[in-house]
Chain A
Amino acid sequence: GENVEQHPSTLSVQEGDSAVIKCTYSDSASNYFPWYKQELGKGPQLIIDIRSNVGEKKDQRIAVTLNKTAKHFSLHITETQPEDSAVYFCAASKGNAGNMLTFGGGTRLMVKP
């Protein structure tokens, strides 16, 4: 089955700096890659997703890049703010968004004011 590895497990940045989180996946049939943000006591919240027919997608301060050949994708957050502090999860799925998601292990992002 699919295996998703996520790095780093923890990331500390200064407010205003950029943060990058990287994931690799094993199944070349995966074609949908969402990113979720999870705050303490809450469920995962979708922040951005990308499908395998595009290489990059941006939404304000957040961007995701996908390299299908290398089977890795990354989340980029620019101009980080203290409210960006949370655990971020990448995931992968076959059959676009409708099928089961396989999650990475998570990255705890801490943005220091």
Chain B
Amino acid sequence: DTGVSQDPRHKITKRGQNVTFRCDPISEHNRLYWYRQTLGQGPEFLTYFQNEAQLEKSRLLSDRFSAERPKGSFSTLEIQRTEQGDSAMYLCASSSVGSLSNQPQHFGDGTRLSIL
């Protein structure tokens, strides 16, 4: 169990640029979640996948945001035309959910995005 891995750990970009983050969940975890955390606040839910299907999206996820999990393993989160307000820590979590039990969500160390 190597834990949830996120790449890159830090991203600095200019306003208006596109950015993409990657998350590798714990092996065999079928659910993958994205959250956003701003300084001094708790994480806020963005979206989650069960295998490759995107099951729920928050209203926070504007049309500039898109997430994919094409083969039900790793996931990418893309932000187009970045704005100052997108500066935050983007956290990925994964869990194993089945008919018999739902396991807790385990988080990665996040990607910190800074918009210049």
Partners in one complex: yes
For residues 3 through 56 of chain A, which have their beta carbon under 8 Å from a beta carbon of chain B? 4, 6, 32, 34, 36, 41-46, 49
Contact B43 A101 (CB under 8 A): yes
Q: Does any Cβ of A come within 8 Å of B42's Cβ?
A: yes
With A43-B4, A46-B104 known as contacts, the answer to whether A100 contacts B41 (CB < 8 A) is no
Residue from the list B43, B56, B97 in contact with A103, Cβ < 8 A? B43
In the complex, per-residue mask of B83-116: 1 if CB is within 8 Å of any chain A CB, else 0: 0000000010101010000111111111000000
How many residues of B are counted as interface, with CB atoms below 8 angstroms from the partner's CB atoms?
Answer: 26
With A103-B42, A105-B41, A106-B42 known as contacts, the answer to whether A98 contacts B97 (CB < 8 A) is yes
With A43-B4, A43-B91, A44-B91 known as contacts, the answer to whether A97 contacts B44 (CB < 8 A) is no
Closest A residue to B103 by beta carbon equals: A97
For residues 37 through 72 of chain B, which have their beta carbon under 8 Å from a beta carbon of chain A? 40-45, 48, 56, 58
Residue from the list A91, A98, A104 in contact with B31, Cβ < 8 A? A98
Q: Which residues of chain B come closer than 8 Å to A32, judged between CB atoms?
A: 102
Closest A residue to B58 by beta carbon equals: A100
Q: Does any Cβ of B come within 8 Å of A102's Cβ?
A: yes
In the complex, what distance in Å separates the CA atom of A45 from the CA atom of B35?
14
Q: Does any Cβ of B come within 8 Å of A89's Cβ?
A: yes
Contact B48 A100 (CB under 8 A): yes
Contact A102 B105 (CB under 8 A): no
With A100-B56, A103-B43, A103-B44 known as contacts, the answer to whether A43 contacts B109 (CB < 8 A) is yes
Q: Does any Cβ of A come within 8 Å of B21's Cβ?
A: no
CB distance from A25 to the nearest CB of B (A): 13
Q: Does any Cβ of A come within 8 Å of B74's Cβ?
A: no
Q: Does any Cβ of B come within 8 Å of A96's Cβ?
A: yes
With A43-B91, A105-B41 known as contacts, the answer to whether A100 contacts B107 (CB < 8 A) is no
A: residues with CB less than 8 A from B are 4, 6, 32, 34, 36, 41-46, 49, 89, 91, 95-106
